[in-house]
Structure 1
Amino acid sequence: MRTVFFRYVSVGLVNTVIHWGIFAAVFYLLGANQAVSNFLGFAAAVTFSFFANARFTFDADATAGRYVIYVAFMGALAVIFGFLAEFWMLPPIVTLILFSAVSLVCGFAYARLVVFTKGDES
Structure 2
Amino acid sequence: MKAIWKSFLSYSLVGLANTLIHWQIFFVLRVAVGLNQATSNFTAFCVAASFSFYVNALYTFEAKLSVTSYVFFLCVMGVLSFIVGHVGDRWHLQGLLTVAAFSLLSLVFGFLFSWSVVFRGRRP
Q: TM-score, normalised by structure 2?
A: 0.94
CA distance in 1, matches of 2:74, 2:116: 15
Q: CA deviation at 1:119?
A: 4.7
| Residue in 2 that maps onto 1:54 | 57
Q: Which runs of 5+ in 1 are unaligned?
A: none
| Residue in 1 that maps onto 2:13 | 10
CA distance in 2, matches of 1:18, 1:26: 12
Q: Percent identity?
A: 41
Query: Cα RMSD (Å) of the superposition?
Result: 1.0
CA 119–51 in structure 1, closer or farther in 2 if over 3 Å, else same? closer
| Residue in 1 that maps onto 2:24 | 21
2:23 touches 2:44 (CA, 8 Å); kept in 1?
yes
| Count, aligned residues | 120
Map of 1:1-122 to 2, 5 A cutoff?
1-119=4-122
What secondary structure, in the 3-state scheme, does the structure 1 residue paired with 2:81 have?
A: helix
CA distance in 2, matches of 1:5, 1:25: 29
* 1:91-115 deviation per Cα after TM superposition (whole angstroms, max 9, x unaligned): 0000011000011000000000000
Runs ≥4 residues deviating over 3 A = none
